[in-house]
Amino acid sequence: GQNDNGNGEDNMDIELFRTSSEEERKKLRKILLNKQISFSERWEKIPLVKRGKYGGQKEMCVVYISEFYDSQVDEICKLMETENV
């Protein structure tokens, strides 16, 4: 990743949240949609040895948002903890 702020169109994605829970994923999507923040999801395989920690799930969803929104990350995390969707 070259960081030349030439045209600014390839701004970096930052990792916002990782979860193996479908409920958390839905909740996060709802919060991001409400805030009109675009995001991308990538799936990572969970190594066998760590699956116990994640309720036996095989994959985990990693959600990324543009670093343009990094000032909102704290608020999003708070909403994830408190908000009942």
The more confident residue out of 75 and 7 is 75
pLDDT score for 10: 63
The sign one gets for the Cα dihedral 80, 69, 15, 59 is: positive
Distance (Å, rounded) from C-alpha 61 to C-alpha 59?
Answer: 7
Q: Which pTM does this prediction carry?
A: 0.77
Q: What is the mean pLDDT of residues 19-46?
A: 95
Share of the chain above pLDDT 70, in %: 84
